[in-house]
């Protein structure tokens, strides 16, 4: 029967509010979601705080945090108040009645729609601009800290007579304030204009006046503020000329004033400042005159003046005064640029010494004797022998060495060193427990003599084995929890044991240091589970009482974190100091505001054939373009417990003093550097590369010669590398002309622009214990001497080299040319280059030959003694050959009391050596099939030794006239 009300039959559906239980559930879920999001955001902050506290640099975290919060709050509040106040003021100044027009009728709908939410809209706009402005201001924390803590340089710029600190510390902050002021004025002007338009104070199509008197006065004041700021900008631009970059054909990248700047732009900026100030007064005067006629005329005059005075006039001066006689006009300013650049890069005391390249000694025996003491020739190239270290001393697949090893000094000898670090990819069975709990650290520092190899061409290890043993450093803590290759986190010290090393069985350990952050508490575990996106941290049974998490484990990463105001050198190197492995990290203070000093781009200047494609050796720059740099800090990172120490190195650097005021008690005094540590400190490579790049031009101090570019140099390409990248500097113990003893030095060569011959040679005393540490000595080669590329080319053309290459290629071996070392010797230059070969079945290169070339410009062209290049089996033979000196002959008569071995014994020795070689070859093939690379490497060593013994026995048989 149909329903009387006309509704359909059946049960009725009621759609209403959710039940109380549902509402409670939804509210609970909403609160939980908000709390979860808040915890996610809080987790990153909390874990950062815990990490900084664990390394005892919590003051860095709090200072940086509070500075950012303060800047965010102050400038966000100022921007919000400025914009909000002008919106409120525009609303208060609205006309009581709006004109009757279609425009106003259309706006009525918007006014009515906004009316109920007017306060909320005002608040929302003010908060939005405050958040944006605050976030932008917080990024200026470095600028603020440098301004508020700035220390005087004690040096004045040559144009305005102001201390350099004004340009380095003050001007950047003033420019930020000016930019903030412009942003506030523009946003306030836009917000006020829109409000006036919405409420009828401004009219576009309505009849009558286009603006009310109130709107006119309000907007005029805002325009006056904008123009006033422009006047301040013109005034600051005057000082900005001293640090302005421009292109100049004499230098390329030019910084500072030139003739046109000092004589056209500078007076133009002053005139424009005056015009802008008058124009601002005219805008403010509209509060009384209520007309825009005069301020508009004044603003037009300012724009026209900016075009004519600020643009056209300098162009005329440049065209008709400077260009016809540019060298003479620019000479005083070039001199200022030269002086400032040399001082800013600490090369002002470096003066080229003429070095003819002509040998001062003609006696071959004397040259040969002097060659022995001229340098400790490093035939073990740290850029090539990493695979050799890897094969002979890796021991387990889960260890690794860096691609490029380091050079240090032990017992006064150049030593190649590499740490046996953890290789997470080599773990036999990958899982979360193995990756982060079981395999946690590397083990041992491997060292080899830099100046010799064994008979097979392998390194002569002075520290080797697992655990390492040797006679160089004594007992030390060999575990490496912090290293260049250690970029994953580990959880140590808890219930889960760690693999220490394998030596006739697994040895386990448990970390006992207080490094890292404790995970004993549930809150910390939850925070790290969120921060690392790894939920197992929260509930894993492998974590318990005593568990600590280690992360941020690379040396450069740790130093950068605790000192975010430092630029970090690309090469952190290890040293065994006082029974601990310490990573030594060189760090720089920089600025981009040194007046008149030319700028350099650190990423480009420090790149060479070793760093290209190797981010591990790339500089970590806080600002990539700088025009002042000092190696002001030496830092260490303990490889076992991760302790970071910063030591003041350059005690006169005002930039470092400024940061030490901002972050007190973070940098230790230079006097606290331990004597053993001092033995291993050295002159940093990236600083040296920046200085050598500047000295390609700034070794010239005469403005006319500098302008002509006739004596400009370049850093040559690495002749041993076909990629066309710059040759790296080399650490080498050597004597410079006039020295009586070798110094541990960092060296480089120069060639004239566009020429392959040698133009200059530079070395710096790199030994931190030396009284002359940091002294740059620059030799200007005055005669035509072959450069590195020419020496390499001649070497490649030698018949002996061609035969060697054919033999190696025939044996399916690859040839690798080592570092081409250059050493001044008795007026000429000695080039030494090790040559390596790596067979198809050999997994590492061995030193096979040594090339030596002695160049003497005193010999006429075509004379073979002008450039003698030899290619021998070892360094001694090569030095003998290059100087034409016979090697000492072995006495044919046996010494008294000895009996020469009978021919039969030589025959037996030959047969035994051949048998041993066959046995080693068979063992190698068997190991190769099993994939046992350790056994394969040992077999290859045995094979090389047996072949050498066979060759020696064969030579003895030939001498005695007996054959086997």
Query: Residue 201 and residue 208: Cα distance in Å, rounded?
Result: 12
Residue 763: is the preceding peptide bond cis (ω within 30°)?
Answer: no
- Surface-to-core class of residue 447, CB atoms within 10 Å of its CB (0-12 exposed, 13-18 middle, 19+ buried): buried
At 134, is the secondary structure helix, strand, or coil?
A: helix
Per the listing, tokens 């492998």 go with: 542
pLDDT tens-digit series, residues 216-238? 889 989 999 999 999 999 999 99
Structure tokens at 941: 């060593």
**Residue 765: predicted pLDDT:** 96
**Residue 919: predicted pLDDT:** 74
Q: Which of 1-5, 389-393, 863-867 has the lowest mean pLDDT?
A: 1-5
Sequence-distant (6+) residues with CB within 8 A of 406 are: 382, 416, 417, 418, 571, 573, 574
pLDDT tens-digit series, residues 241-282? 999 988 776 666 789 999 999 999 999 999 999 999 999 998
**Residue 906: predicted pLDDT:** 56
- CA nearest 55: which of 559, 667, 532? 559
Mean of the pLDDT values across residues 646-650?
96
CA distances from residue 57 to 53, 503, 559, 645, 670 in whole angstroms, order as listed: 6, 39, 11, 10, 19
**Residue 518: predicted pLDDT:** 94
Sequence-distant (6+) residues with CB within 8 A of 528 are: 43, 47, 517, 519, 534, 537, 549
Q: Which of 110-119, 646-655, 819-828 has the lowest mean pLDDT?
A: 110-119
CB atoms under 10 Å from CB of 83, counted, come to 25
Q: How many alpha carbons fall within 13 Å on the CB side of residue 326?
A: 10
Structure tokens at 328: 């003479």
**Residue 938: predicted pLDDT:** 67
- CA nearest 34: which of 46, 42, 44? 42
Answer with the residue of higher pLDDT: 121 or 598.
598
Mean of the pLDDT values across residues 42-48?
91
- CA nearest 874: which of 454, 460, 461, 462? 454
**Residue 447: predicted pLDDT:** 94
Q: Which of 400-404, 408-412, 862-866 has the lowest mean pLDDT?
A: 862-866
CA distances from residue 574 to 442, 621, 672 in whole angstroms, order as listed: 13, 21, 19
**Residue 456: predicted pLDDT:** 85
H/E stretch holding 300 reads helix 293-307
Answer with the residue of higher pLDDT: 574 or 36.
574
Percentage of residues in the chain having pLDDT higher than 70: 86
Is the pLDDT at 691 greater than 90? The verdict is: yes
Per the listing, tokens 């060495």 go with: 401
- CA nearest 778: which of 343, 353, 338? 353
At 9, is the secondary structure helix, strand, or coil?
A: coil
Is the pLDDT at 917 greater than 80? The verdict is: no
pLDDT tens-digit series, residues 310-341? 888 888 988 888 888 888 999 999 999 999 99
Q: Please state the separation of Cα 323 from the chain's center in Å.
A: 40
Structure tokens at 63: 């200072």
Structure tokens at 127: 């908060």
Contact in structure between 440 and 463 (CB atoms under 8 Å): no
Contact in structure between 414 and 731 (CB atoms under 8 Å): yes
Answer with the residue of higher pLDDT: 857 or 895.
857
Answer with the residue of higher pLDDT: 550 or 920.
550
Ramachandran sector of residue 600 (left: φ over 0; alpha: ψ -120 to 50; beta: rest): beta
Structure tokens at 882: 């290059």
pLDDT tens-digit series, residues 48-92? 999 999 999 999 999 999 999 999 999 999 999 999 999 999 888
pLDDT tens-digit series, residues 427-450? 999 999 999 999 999 999 999 999
- CA nearest 257: which of 237, 282, 287? 237
Q: What are phi and psi of 203, to 5 degrees?
A: -130, 140
**Residue 893: predicted pLDDT:** 41
Query: Residue 353 and residue 355: Cα distance in Å, rounded?
Result: 6
In 561-712, DSSP assigns E strands to: 567-568, 573-577, 580-591, 600-601, 625-626, 628-638, 644-648
Angle CA 736–737–740, to nearest 5: 75
**Residue 909: predicted pLDDT:** 65
- CA nearest 852: which of 826, 828, 883? 883
**Residue 892: predicted pLDDT:** 41
- CA nearest 159: which of 249, 273, 240? 240
**Residue 205: predicted pLDDT:** 64
Is the pLDDT at 901 greater than 70? The verdict is: no
DSSP string, 72-118: HHHHHHHHHHHHHHHHHHHHHT--SS---SHHHHHHHHHHHHHGGGH
Give start and end residues of each alpha helix (H) in 241-265.
259-260
Sequence-distant (6+) residues with CB within 8 A of 272 are: 234, 302, 305, 306, 309, 310
Query: Residue 884 and residue 897: Cα distance in Å, rounded?
Result: 35
Query: Residue 134 and residue 72: Cα distance in Å, rounded?
Result: 4
Query: Residue 381 and residue 836: Cα distance in Å, rounded?
Result: 10
Answer with the residue of higher pLDDT: 35 or 768.
768
Q: Compute the mean pLDDT over every residue in the chain, rounded to the nearest whole number.
A: 86
Sequence-distant (6+) residues with CB within 8 A of 838 are: 387, 813, 814, 816, 844, 845, 846
């Amino acid at each position: 029967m149909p329903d009387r009300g006309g509704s359909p039959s059946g049960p009725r559906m009621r759609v209403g509010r959710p039940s109380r239980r549902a509402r409670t559930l939804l509210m609970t879920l909403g609160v939980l979601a908000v709390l979860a999001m808040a915890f996610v955001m809080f987790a990153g902050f909390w874990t950062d705080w815990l990490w900084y506290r664990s390394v005892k640099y919590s003051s860095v975290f709090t200072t940086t945090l509070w500075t950012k919060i303060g800047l965010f709050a102050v400038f966000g509040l100022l921007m919000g108040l400025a914009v909000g106040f002008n919106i409120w003021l525009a609303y208060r100044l609205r006309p009581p009645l709006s004109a009757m027009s279609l425009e106003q009728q259309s706006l009525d709908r918007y006014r009515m729609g906004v009316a109920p939410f007017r306060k909320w809209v005002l608040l929302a706009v003010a908060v939005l601009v405050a958040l944006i402005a605050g976030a932008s201001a917080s990024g200026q924390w470095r600028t603020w800290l440098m301004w508020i803590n700035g220390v005087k340089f004690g040096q004045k710029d040559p144009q305005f007579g102001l201390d350099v600190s004004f340009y380095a510390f003050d001007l950047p902050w003033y420019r930020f304030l000016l930019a903030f002021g412009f942003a506030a004025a523009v946003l306030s002007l836009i917000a006020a204009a829109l409000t006036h338009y919405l409420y009828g104070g401004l009219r576009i199509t309505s009849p009558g006046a286009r603006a009310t008197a109130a709107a006119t006065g309000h907007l005029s004041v805002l325009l006056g503020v904008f123009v006033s700021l422009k006047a301040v900008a013109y005034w600051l631009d005057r000082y900005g000329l001293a640090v302005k970059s421009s292109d100049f054909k004499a230098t390329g990248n030019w910084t500072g004033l030139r003739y046109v700047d000092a004589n056209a732009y500078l007076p133009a900026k002053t005139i424009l400042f005056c015009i802008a100030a008058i124009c601002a007064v005219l805008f403010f005067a509209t509060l009384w005159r209520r007309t825009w006629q005069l301020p508009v005329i004044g603003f037009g005059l300012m724009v026209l003046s900016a075009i004519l005075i600020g643009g056209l006039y300098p162009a005329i001066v440049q065209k008709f005064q400077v260009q016809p006689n540019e060298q003479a006009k620019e000479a005083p300013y070039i001199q200022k640029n030269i002086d400032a650049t040399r001082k800013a890069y600490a090369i002002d005391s470096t003066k080229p010494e003429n070095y003819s390249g002509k040998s001062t000694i003609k006696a071959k025996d004397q040259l040969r004797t002097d060659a022995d003491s001229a340098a400790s020739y490093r035939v073990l190239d740290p850029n090539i022998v990493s695979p050799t270290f890897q094969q002979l001393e890796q021991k387990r697949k889960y260890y690794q060495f860096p691609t490029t090893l380091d050079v240090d000094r032990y017992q006064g000898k150049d030593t190649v060193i590499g740490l046996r670090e953890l290789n997470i990819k080599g773990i036999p069975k990958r899982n979360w427990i193995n990756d982060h709990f079981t395999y946690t650290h590397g083990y041992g520092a491997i060292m080899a003599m830099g100046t010799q190899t064994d008979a097979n061409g392998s390194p002569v290890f002075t520290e080797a084995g697992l655990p390492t043993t040797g006679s160089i450093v004594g007992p030390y803590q060999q575990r490496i929890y912090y290293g260049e290759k250690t970029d994953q986190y580990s959880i140590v010290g808890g219930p889960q044991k760690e693999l220490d090393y394998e030596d006739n069985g697994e040895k386990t350990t448990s970390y006992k240091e207080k490094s890292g952050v404790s995970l004993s508490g549930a809150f910390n575990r939850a925070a790290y589970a969120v921060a690392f996106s790894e939920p197992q941290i929260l509930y894993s049974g492998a974590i318990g009482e005593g568990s600590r998490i280690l992360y941020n484990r690379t040396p450069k990463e740790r130093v950068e974190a605790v000192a975010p105001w430092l630029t970090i050198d690309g090469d952190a190197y290890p040293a065994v100091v006082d029974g601990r492995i310490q990573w030594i990290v060189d760090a720089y203070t920089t600025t981009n505001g040194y007046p008149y000093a030319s700028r350099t781009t650190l990423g480009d200047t420090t790149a060479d054939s070793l760093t290209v494609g190797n981010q591990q050796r790339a500089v970590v720059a806080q600002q990539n373009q700088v025009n002042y740099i000092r190696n002001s800090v030496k830092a260490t990172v303990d490889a076992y417990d991760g302790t970071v120490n910063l030591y003041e190195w350059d005690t006169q650097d005002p930039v470092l003093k400024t940061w030490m005021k901002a972050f007190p008690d973070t940098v230790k005094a230079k006097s606290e550097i331990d004597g053993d540590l001092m033995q291993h400190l050295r002159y940093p490579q990236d600083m040296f590369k920046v200085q050598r790049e500047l000295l390609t031009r700034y070794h010239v101090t005469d403005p006319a010669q500098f302008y002509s570019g006739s004596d400009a140099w370049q850093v040559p390409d690495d002749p041993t590398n076909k990629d066309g990248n710059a040759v790296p500097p080399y650490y080498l113990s050597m004597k410079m002309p006039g020295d009586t003893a070798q110094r541990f030095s960092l060296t480089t060569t120069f060639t004239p622009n566009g020429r392959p011959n040698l133009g200059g040679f530079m070395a710096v005393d790199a030994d931190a214990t030396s009284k002359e540490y940091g002294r740059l000595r620059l030799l200007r080669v005055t005669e035509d001497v072959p450069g590195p590329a020419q020496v390499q080319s001649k070497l490649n053309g030698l018949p002996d080299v061609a035969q060697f290459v054919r033999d190696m290629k025939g044996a399916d071996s690859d040839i690798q040319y080592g570092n081409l070392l250059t050493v001044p010797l008795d007026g000429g230059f000695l080039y030494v280059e090790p040559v390596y070969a790596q067979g198809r079945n050999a997994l590492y290169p061995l030193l096979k030959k040594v090339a030596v070339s002695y160049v003497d410009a005193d010999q006429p062209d075509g004379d073979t003694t002008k450039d003698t290049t030899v290619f021998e089996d070892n360094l001694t033979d090569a030095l003998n050959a290059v100087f034409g000196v016979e090697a000492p002959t072995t006495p044919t008569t046996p010494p008294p009391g000895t009996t020469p071995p009978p021919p039969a014994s030589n025959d037996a020795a030959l047969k035994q050596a051949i048998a041993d070689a066959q046995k080693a070859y068979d063992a190698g093939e068997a190991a190769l099939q099993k994939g046992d690379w350790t056994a394969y490497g040992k077999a290859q060593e045995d094979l090389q030794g047996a072949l050498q013994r066979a060759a020696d026995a064969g030579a003895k048989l030939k001498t005695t006239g007996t054959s086997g």
